[in-house]
Structure 1
Amino acid sequence: MRGMTRAARLAAILGLALTGGAQAESGGFFKNLFGGGGGTGDGGGGGGSLMAPKAFDPDDVYCPNVFVPEGGAAIQAYAGAAGDNTRLRHQIVVSRLSRECRARGDGSVSVRVGVELRAMLGPAGAPGRFEAPVTVSITYGEKPVMSRPHRVTIPVPAGTAQGEASVIENDLVVPADKAMGYDIEVTLSPKKAAKPVARRKPAPAADAAQSEAPVPGQ
């Protein structure tokens, strides 16, 4: 986005927000992200979609698409109240996804997931380092099997308007009884505001005085 006008940059950011930003990639991205090799997740290094469900010989491993739930593909930060796009500081989106599934001797499946994130400056933004919380999960029948949270730092150098970073989750295991029909989920979540701690109110002064009053006749 270097050299783009302010209006053009905002239009590009809003376009990614509407589409979710994540794209299915060819085997090249998978090999680069996972360090090469692995015919299980990249379709043999060809031009097939990484996100298409596919069973791989000889193990016949079920390897579903990576699912990003609604509202989980992008987060925005504003200089003031949210919703005013002219005051958008930056947006972080899930730009690319990849996965690899391998059968284990006990019938379970080992899953690796790669996530690439992109940070883009808005009209009110400035270069810097931005953190994004990413959660990679395995679910079965909409119930969680296991989940791994990550915090990814994305640098946007001076003189540029965007930056990229990636995270790889290597240690997801699907039990044998759930090896068919499970889902892989990636969620990009904003920070949640801390809830104020409720303080215990002191007893009213009138009640305290009454409890100390002398009893008639004593």
Structure 2
Amino acid sequence: MTIGRRGMIGALGIGRAALCGLVLALGAAPAGAEEGNVFSNLFKYGGTTVPPSQPKELEAAYCPTVDVPEGGAALTNPPGATAAGIRSQVSLGRVARECTRRADGSISVKVGVEARVLLGPSGAAGRFDVPFTIAIKHDDKTVTTRTRRVAVVVGPGEAQGFTSMVEDDIPVPAAMSADYEIVVGLGGAPKAPTKPKPRRRAPVAAAPSQATTSEAPVEAGAAQ
């Protein structure tokens, strides 16, 4: 089949018109939606517009296992009682933790703790308060401490009761996020060591011929 000169010219005219229309359509695309040009966006993003920027993926958070200090896994009431004199005993159960990295590099820690109250030979049914302490430590120094008290009810005729608590959003500074400890125990936060108070000196009478004296301290009760 032979296409005449006029038909070829007409086809070329239609092709030029279509191309002009395509250029006009592409030119009508919003300039703000272009990164380079429409064709590069098609190949790069699969569409003529640039998709919204995605948030930067955060590094996985370091989440150490929970440490229980010596003496922090159980409490006896009264403290130091003999087996026959124990009224109740509290012991830790399961412990769980979850660590989430924040955009500023710090970490948010969530800790869940279970505990059991067991009546002793001298115990009776009632309401018991269970004290929890959760601490974040770095280089053996306490950074953050949370204390909670949770009630446990042991009903008449029962020998034990259970409780659980969840402490959320415990902060770990970014500078310590690669090396820290999670410490959980029963009881209140350990008291900071206090300096011993200096002993008061016993009053010493000054010699009549001296205005001042310089003597070593004399402890009360040392003189006979």
Is this a same-fold pair by TM over 0.5?
yes
Match of 1:182 among 137, 157, 180: 180
TM-score using structure 1 length: 0.58
The one-letter code sitting in structure 2 at the alignment partner of 1:188 is L
In structure 2, runs of 5+ residues without a counterpart are 1-56, 191-224
Residue 66 (structure 1) aligns with: 66
What is the rounded CA distance, in whole Å, between the counterparts of 1:171 and 1:163 in structure 2? 28
Q: Deviations over 1:3-38 (max 9, x none)?
A: xxxxxxxxxxxxxxxxxxxxxxxxxxxxxxxxxxxx
What is the rounded CA distance, in whole Å, between the counterparts of 1:164 and 1:186 in structure 2? 17
Kindly report which structure 2 residues correspond to 1:106-121, keeping only aligned pairs within 5 A, or say none.
106-121=104-119
What is the rounded CA distance, in whole Å, between the counterparts of 1:171 and 1:101 in structure 2? 9
Cα shift at 1:82: 2.8
Cα shift at 1:58: 6.8
The one-letter code sitting in structure 1 at the alignment partner of 2:81 is G
Cα shift at 1:177: 0.6
**1:126 counterpart SS class:** coil
Going from structure 1 to structure 2, the CA distance change for 1:121 and 1:133 (only over 3 Å counts) comes to same
The one-letter code sitting in structure 2 at the alignment partner of 1:148 is R
TM-score using structure 2 length: 0.56
Residue 167 (structure 1) aligns with: 165
Going from structure 1 to structure 2, the CA distance change for 1:123 and 1:142 (only over 3 Å counts) comes to same
Question: What do you get for the CA RMSD once the two structures are aligned?
Answer: 2.1
**2:175 counterpart SS class:** helix
The one-letter code sitting in structure 2 at the alignment partner of 1:169 is E
CA contact (8 A) 1:132 1:190 kept: no
What is the rounded CA distance, in whole Å, between the counterparts of 1:97 and 1:183 in structure 2? 14
Cα shift at 1:171: 2.0
**Residues paired across the two proteins, number:** 134
Q: Deviations over 1:88-116 (max 9, x none)?
A: 11100111100000110011111000011
Higher Rg of the two aligned structures: 2
Higher RCO (CA < 8 A, seq sep 6+) = 1
What is the rounded CA distance, in whole Å, between the counterparts of 1:138 and 1:92 in structure 2? 23
What is the rounded CA distance, in whole Å, between the counterparts of 2:162 and 2:141 in structure 1? 31
The one-letter code sitting in structure 1 at the alignment partner of 2:150 is V
What is the rounded CA distance, in whole Å, between the counterparts of 1:131 and 1:148 in structure 2? 16
Cα shift at 1:169: 0.6
Identity within the alignment, %: 44
What is the rounded CA distance, in whole Å, between the counterparts of 1:132 and 1:190 in structure 2? 10
Higher share in strand: 1
Match of 2:143 among 142, 145, 148: 145
CA contact (8 A) 1:134 1:187 kept: yes
The one-letter code sitting in structure 2 at the alignment partner of 1:175 is P
CA contact (8 A) 2:101 2:108 kept: yes
What is the rounded CA distance, in whole Å, between the counterparts of 2:162 and 2:134 in structure 1? 18
Q: Is residue 90 of structure 2 the alignment partner of residue 92 of structure 1?
A: yes
Q: Is residue 76 of structure 2 the alignment partner of residue 76 of structure 1?
A: yes
Residue 156 (structure 1) aligns with: 154
CA contact (8 A) 1:75 1:190 kept: no
**1:62 counterpart SS class:** coil
Residue 53 (structure 2) aligns with: none
Cα shift at 1:133: 1.5
**2:62 counterpart SS class:** strand
Q: Deviations over 1:179-218 (max 9, x none)?
A: 01100011212799xxxxxxxxxxxxxxxxxxxxxxxxxx
